[in-house]
Amino acid sequence: MLTELMDDACSEPAEGLRQHSIELLVLMLAVIAVDTRGLDPKLLGQKFVAADVRACQKLFGALGASVPCVLPPVGRAGGSEARELVLEAISALRALELPVAARVGGAASIGALCETLLAARYDVRELTTLELLRWDCKEGVRGEGDGAMRVRIAAICETVPELLQRSDGAAGLEAAMRNACERNGGAVGVLFALTKEDEAQGGRKGLVAYVGGEAVDAPITALVCGLLDAIAGTPSLPSALSSNPLFKAQRIEQEGFGIRWEAVEGAPRLRVSSLRAAATRKTLLPAVLQLGLSL
């Protein structure tokens, strides 16, 4: 199904899509709606590309909608003319009524579908801190063999103060983050909790790091400290990252992630910093892994 969705050789909705269940088609459309934030045009080139818009058009068509402004293959919409075509297609899709089968929670448009699903996703009132840390987590491995170290970044849909409050303070958060390392098989060198934008901090996100692995008495190694230092300030990026379109869109090479680490009173294993609002896990995780390889 993914091949049919992302096939750039066909500008019409893939016939094969109609052979899948309506439930699966709606699920795929829901994933795109959330990941692209309802096809927000401001996020074109940052959170999604032209191929995502084409996939969305195909799903609309497979669900029975008449799709205007069918997008021809335009790659990543790098040129101004191609970008205008993609923006025109986005505008048409955002104005289009959702097929009846896709109106989850009564949502009538892809923007409303995104809002409905995100509201449900962010309703984490019943979760413990540990469950929240495991709710939406990405992982990468730095190095190989005995020297390999896992790095995990959990997306937290609360601000740092809210996360501390739900954890009964810094010591509780430290314990939960240590527990998250233990329950995932251990050997997690650094666990990050990336929190949502905080208006009290000028709209910046927050970043909490748990360092030192799962053992309470293990020393905080020079390598772990080096990893944190490597992403602070304005890091010197390898060419593979500096040339990446997403790193360019987020201006990581020019402005960095905005990280300035501080110790956390009562929690010696924690470090905390604010984070530029434009920065995301999609750039932070590869930066940690790539910069860590040079240590």
Write out pLDDT tens, residues 26-79.
Answer: 999 999 999 999 999 999 988 888 889 999 999 999 999 988 888 776 554 455
Q: Are residues 99 and 44 in the same domain?
A: yes
- 159 & 183 share domain: yes
Domain boundary among 104, 121, 138: 121
Distance, in Å, from the CA atom of 240 to the CA atom of 242, rounded to the nearest integer, reads: 6
Residues 276 and 254 in one domain: yes
Rounded to an integer, what distance in angstroms lies between the CA atom of residue 270 and that of residue 125? 24
Domain boundary, last residue among 101, 121, 141: 121
Strand partners, 271: 209, 263
Q: How far apart are CA 166 and CA 232, in angstroms?
A: 27
Task: Tell whether 51 and 32 lie within a shared domain.
Answer: yes
Residues 277, 138 share a domain: yes
B/e letters for 21-50, b = 16+ CB within 10 Å, e = fewer, are eeeebbebbbebbbebbbbeeeebbbbbbb
CATH code for position 163: 3.10.310.20
Q: Name the residue range of residue 78's domain.
A: 2-121
231 and 161 in a common domain: yes
Task: Say whether both 276 and 136 belong to one domain.
Answer: yes
pLDDT in tens, 192-240: 999 999 999 999 999 999 986 545 455 567 778 888 999 999 999 999 9
Number of domains in the chain: 2
- In one-letter notation, the amino acid at residue 20 is H
